[in-house]
Amino acid sequence: QVQLVESGGGLVQPGESLRLSCTAAGNVFSPYIMGWYRQAPGNQRELVARISKNDLTWYSDSVKDRFTISRDNAKNTVYLQMDSLKPEDTAVYFCNKVILSWPWGQGTRVTVSS
């Protein structure tokens, strides 16, 4: 059983930064395209960044040039560096395999207050 665990969220001011981490017990990330998703109350869950096993990356227009996804296979961890945070980035952030997702974890909450 894969157990996804996200961490690193918190309350920050606009313009500040956070670094999110995602790890798992039960399986390894290395063969898969991994993604970061976010969901705000009343909103759809949206994919904001993804990274392939060969470190090819993609970002949604809303976070491009501000967020950076990376992975460390030795640590079985995927990261999301979030810079220049905006109030509209406020959401619960989740990680998961992009193709054929595992059960969702609890996510980590990011609140950007002005």
Q: What is the pLDDT of residues 52-101, one digit of tens each?
A: 999 999 999 999 999 999 999 999 999 999 999 999 999 999 999 999 99
Which pLDDT value is given to residue 66? 98
Torsion from C-alpha of 12, 101, 48, 65, nearest 10 degrees? 100
Above 90 in pLDDT, residue 38? yes
Which pLDDT value is given to residue 26? 76
Separation CA 9–CA 91 (nearest Å): 10
Instruction: Give alpha helix (H) positions in the chain.
Output: none
Which pLDDT value is given to residue 1? 78
Question: Contact 46/37 with Cβ under 8 angstroms?
Answer: yes
The residues, ordered by sequence, that sit 6+ positions from 87 with a Cβ below 8 Å of its Cβ are 14, 112, 113, 114
